[in-house]
Amino acid sequence: MNKKTITKKKKSKKSKNRFLAFLLYFTAFLLIFTLSSYFSYKYFIQEKELDVVAIKARINEETGIHIEIPIGSNTSDIAAILNDAGVVDKPLWFKFISKFNGYDGCYKSGKHIIDKALGYREIMEILCDNPITTTVTIVEGKNLKQIAHILDEKNLIDMDIFLEACGTEEFEYKFLEGVPDRKNKLEGYLFPDTYFFDPTSGPRSLIKKFLDNFNLKFKEDFYTRAKELNMSIDEIIILASIIEAETPNPDERPIVSSVFHNRLKSENPELKKLQSCATVQYVLYDTQNKMKEKISDNDTKIEHPYNTYLYEGLPPGPICSPGIAAIEAALYPDEESTYFYFVAKGDGTHHFSKTLEEHMRASETYQSE
């Protein structure tokens, strides 16, 4: 065997060894890649069925990081927001996982609370869930300023901005037709209830939620009944607001309503003055930003269009947001009642009188206690 043949064999063997080494490395790489892909798939897809409620329960609302996703944000925008907030340190990796697992397009705008200790999958699950809402309960009898103050305290909106929007925004609802362009024109129409507000909502959106609820609760029969009474919807709400503010007692509301209806129909100018203490309290809140436990004679003499001790008939607008029971009482007063007066007994109920003399005696009895 000559040297050339031996050299060729050696070269052939080296080439074969190199090929085998390459094949071995390639196989190892392929195996590692396959296993990595498999476990990534297992980790990110097959086991991504997480209990988002349980995840959120582990987050402390005070120490958690509040993330706001603007409307129209894409995954790149969200990754940048999370990176800026210190929640995600690899935005590119976040985008890759998001696309790989089908999260793209599922993220919901709004406010979310995230914890730095959460994994990417858990963060994605939270961002795909409904954003946090703020629960607000408005009880019957709250006036517009009080409602605005509650929303402000809940960090939903600045009180002044909300009140300004209530006076300037235009809304088209059947029940608002005929409402004059007065100060606090939506007074009485922000329906009392428990609401779940999106913290990112603007003033118009917040107001609309109240008005939508009013529209839902104010039955079609109420419009018919108002016509039967020859009253506008606004007049019904004005009267209902006074009834709401005068008594929390459901059994008394139709009787209280009858007193005001009887006075409104009376030919006596003095009886046409409703002399409602609740309207004086509204005057005090409007002018002094406070109410009193008991109004004085001087309070009843305050010059104000809502003071029913000075002016005949209904005040220019509602004095609070009445509930359905008060609205129904305004629409359906006790038809058998011939009362013109009532006085608080101090126990949450009232004494009703037909004559001024009887009323004066009752007032002396209950007001002196």
Q: What is the pLDDT of residues 77-99, one digit of tens each?
A: 999 999 999 999 999 989 988 88
The pLDDT of residue 8: 53
Residues 163, 165, 168, 174: is their CA dihedral positive or negative? negative
Report, as an integer, the average pLDDT of 203-220. 96
The pLDDT of residue 80: 95
The encoded tokens of residue 132 equal 């946090």
Least confident of 19-33, 136-150, 289-303, 352-366: 19-33
Rounded distance, CA 204 to CA 218, Å?
21
Q: What is the pLDDT of residues 33-82, one digit of tens each?
A: 655 554 455 444 445 567 777 888 888 877 888 888 888 899 999 999 99
Rounded distance, CA 238 to CA 246, Å?
13
The CA-CA-CA angle for residues 284, 286, 290, to 5°, reads 50
Q: What does pTM read for this prediction?
A: 0.74
The pLDDT of residue 59: 83
Residue 310: pLDDT band (50, 70, 90) is very high
Residue 138: pLDDT band (50, 70, 90) is very high
Rounded distance, CA 295 to CA 284, Å?
9
User: Which candidate, 240, 243, 246, 238, places its Cα nearest to that of 344?
Assistant: 246
Kindly list the domain boundaries of the chain, sorted by start residue: 52-128, 134-217, 232-367
Q: What is the pLDDT of residues 273-286, one digit of tens each?
A: 999 999 999 999 99
The encoded tokens of residue 341 equal 């007066």
CATH of domain 52-128: 3.30.1490.480
User: pLDDT averaged over the chain?
Assistant: 88
Report, as an integer, the average pLDDT of 89-113. 88
Task: Provide φ and ψ at 237, rounded to 5°.
Answer: -70, -35
Residue 20: pLDDT band (50, 70, 90) is low
